[in-house]
């Protein structure tokens, strides 16, 4: 089963997410089930299951996506899926980078470029929502104008 973890700058509707996920992995929207913490019913037979959670801070939504191994051809890797979602939804999509630092992410933008990003976990807000801050990016991202632009060093490169 393929799995993706995404964070988005904007909070698209569940219906828009289903359509975008369907296009990104090559299934129909009817094959995708998107639910958040307030939904009690799930379509467990769907070949794409997506849990969504509202965030606070610089990012609006966390996605936890599971794609069944029944999907043919095989779905794209996480980086390609993020680029496809960014283009379809018009929002910057972040996904974890390989490595040991939990703050290391890649940001995929609606205009098709990727850049490294540093995402800091700020705990939770008064409503219990996780708070995430995009501290820095290696290339300026229009939807993250407050993020510093700087080289982001990964463990194993310089420390």
Averaged pLDDT for residues 47-56: 94
Is a pLDDT exceeding 60 seen at residue 157? no
For 21, 25, 69, 123, 153, the CA distances from 86, given in Å and listed in that order, are 11, 13, 24, 26, 25
Both structure tokens of 149: 């632009």
Instruction: For 38, list phi and psi in degrees, rounded to 5.
Output: -95, -5
Kindly indicate the confidence band of residue 98, based on its pLDDT and cuts at 50, 70 and 90.
Answer: confident
The confidence score (pLDDT) of residue 15 equals: 94
Kindly indicate the confidence band of residue 48, based on its pLDDT and cuts at 50, 70 and 90.
Answer: very high
Both structure tokens of 33: 């089930």
**pTM as predicted:** 0.91
Instruction: For 72, list phi and psi in degrees, rounded to 5.
Output: -130, 140
Averaged pLDDT for residues 102-120: 95
pLDDT, tens digit, 9 for 90 and up, residues 35-47: 987 666 788 888 9
Domain boundaries, the chain: 2-149
Kindly indicate the confidence band of residue 156, based on its pLDDT and cuts at 50, 70 and 90.
Answer: very low
Cα separation of 3 and 152, whole Å?
25
For the chain, give the mean pLDDT: 90
CB 63 within 8 A of CB 6: yes
Residue 96 CA, chain-centre distance (Å), reads 8
The confidence score (pLDDT) of residue 39 equals: 66
CB 12 within 8 A of CB 93: no
For 85, 94, 127, 135, the CA distances from 131, given in Å and listed in that order, are 22, 15, 10, 12
Q: What is the largest CA-CA distance in the chain?
A: 48
Cα separation of 62 and 156, whole Å?
28
């Amino acid at each position: 089963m393929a799995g993706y973890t995404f964070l988005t700058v904007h909070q698209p509707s569940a219906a828009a997410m289903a359509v975008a996920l369907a296009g990104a992995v090559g299934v129909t929207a009817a094959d995708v089930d998107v639910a958040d913490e307030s939904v009690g019913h799930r379509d467990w037979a769907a070949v794409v299951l997506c849990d969504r959670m509202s965030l606070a801070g610089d990012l609006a939504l966390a996605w936890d996506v599971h794609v069944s191994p029944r999907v043919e051809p095989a779905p794209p890797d996480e980086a390609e899926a993020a680029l496809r979602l960014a283009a379809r939804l018009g929002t910057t999509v972040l996904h974890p980078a390989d490595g040991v630092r939990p703050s290391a992410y890649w940001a995929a933008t609606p205009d098709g470029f990727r850049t490294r990003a540093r995402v800091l976990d700020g705990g939770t807000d008064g409503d219990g929502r996780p708070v995430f801050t995009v501290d820095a990016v290696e290339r300026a991202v229009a939807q993250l104008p407050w993020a510093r632009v700087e080289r982001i060093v990964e463990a194993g490169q310089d420390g």
